């Protein structure tokens, strides 16, 4: 019978194996009660292999952006379950990176095909939430870093617009009396229209009547068209000047009928500041709930 003791690793060996520093291991031991090393005759820490394997799992999850406070106290099985949950997210991120890589002239047709395939597979709502919105953010970041040319961003925008409009065209038209009636636009100098187009798609999915005016619409035109609407929905990109956004919003609200709600969404810095009391700040995820709220309490 083999009575050999299971191997134990020194703290230096564990640091080399897992990439977790000695000071961090000691701090976790004090703060979280794990790891629980044994001691040799000189009082040096020795770690059983099952604890080392658990530490390897923790390190992999930390590398995916998780925080130690939510990991170190978990059992091995719980950590494995978290790792399995993280795999689809990593696969989805890689899928977005693959689409981003197609934003070049020779592969523009492949980009349109890839986006269309995702739309067919996911449906319009999930396509916007899981592909459209995050991919737009990735393209904007890549352009800001100089990783995409301006014309490559334009190719992406054109492809995404075509796919979104094709998705909207498949929806049944709203009834003439459908409510709420939502006017969608961007203000003058805001040329990025993908945000408001995605909002239009989500509003249409909820059966709202959509009046889409497009990008860079004069304030007076929005105000006149809004007389026949319940809500004005506006989109602001990160590139939109925050001072101009606040000033234009105040100017627009002064021209709108009091009963018309104003929804504003996007990544413009102005949307993090105090705004006019009539403005509701929305993300794409908020649209369905806000339409339901309007139908419950609106007129």
Question: pLDDT by residue (tens digit) across 197-226?
Answer: 999 999 999 999 999 999 999 999 999 999
**Residue-level pLDDT at 261:** 95
Measured in whole angstroms, how far is the alpha carbon of residue 164 from the centre of its chain?
A: 17
pTM: 0.69
**Residue-level pLDDT at 81:** 85
Taking the chain, what is the end-to-end CA distance rounded to the nearest angstrom?
83
CA separation for the pair 189, 197 (Å, rounded): 17
Ordered alpha helix ranges (H), 170-268: 194-205, 219-225, 242-255
**Residue-level pLDDT at 234:** 97
CA separation for the pair 229, 74 (Å, rounded): 53
Closest CA relative to residue 104, chosen from 137, 150, 136, 138: 150
**Residue-level pLDDT at 88:** 58
211: left (phi over 0), alpha (psi -120 to 50) or beta: beta
Q: Which portions of the chain are predicted below pLDDT 70?
A: 1-6, 86-92, 298-299
CA separation for the pair 215, 204 (Å, rounded): 18
CA separation for the pair 296, 299 (Å, rounded): 9
CA separation for the pair 11, 188 (Å, rounded): 62
- 3-state SS assignment for residue 28: helix
Give the tens place of pLDDT for each residue, 21-62: 899 999 999 988 999 999 999 999 999 999 999 999 898 888
**Residue-level pLDDT at 1:** 47
How big is the CA angle at 161 (ends 159 and 165), to the nearest 5 degrees?
120
**Residue-level pLDDT at 87:** 61
């Amino acid at each position: 019978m083999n009575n050999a003791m299971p191997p134990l690793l020194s703290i230096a060996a564990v640091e080399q194996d897992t990439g977790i520093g000695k000071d961090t291991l000691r701090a976790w031991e004090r703060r979280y009660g794990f790891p629980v090393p044994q001691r040799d005759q000189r009082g040096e820490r020795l770690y059983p292999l099952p604890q080392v394997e658990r530490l390897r799992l923790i390190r992999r999850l930390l590398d995916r952006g998780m925080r130690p406070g939510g990991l170190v106290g978990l059992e091995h099985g719980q950590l494995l379950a978290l790792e399995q949950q993280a795999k689809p997210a990593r696969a989805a991120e890689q899928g977005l990176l693959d689409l981003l890589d197609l934003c070049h002239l020779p592969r523009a047709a492949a980009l349109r095909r890839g986006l269309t395939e995702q739309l067919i597979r996911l449906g319009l709502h999930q396509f916007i939430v899981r592909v459209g919105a995050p991919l737009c953010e990735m393209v904007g970041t890549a352009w800001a870093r100089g990783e995409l040319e301006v014309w490559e961003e334009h190719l992406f925008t054109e492809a995404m617009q075509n796919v979104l409009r094709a998705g909207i065209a498949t929806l049944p038209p709203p009834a003439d009396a459908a409510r709420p009636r939502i006017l969608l636009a961007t203000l003058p100098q805001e040329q990025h229209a993908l945000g408001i187009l995605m909002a239009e798609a989500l509003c249409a999915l909820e059966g709202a009547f959509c009046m889409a005016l497009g990008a860079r619409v004069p304030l007076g035109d929005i105000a006149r068209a809004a007389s026949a609407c319940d809500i004005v929905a506006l989109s602001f990109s990160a590139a939109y000047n925050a001072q101009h956004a606040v000033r234009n919003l105040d100017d627009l609200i002064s021209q709108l009928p009091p009963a018309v709600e104003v929804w504003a969404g996007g990544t413009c810095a102005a949307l993090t500041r105090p705004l006019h009391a009539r403005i509701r700040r929305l993300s794409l995820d908020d649209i369905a709930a806000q339409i339901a709220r309007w139908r419950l309490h609106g007129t």
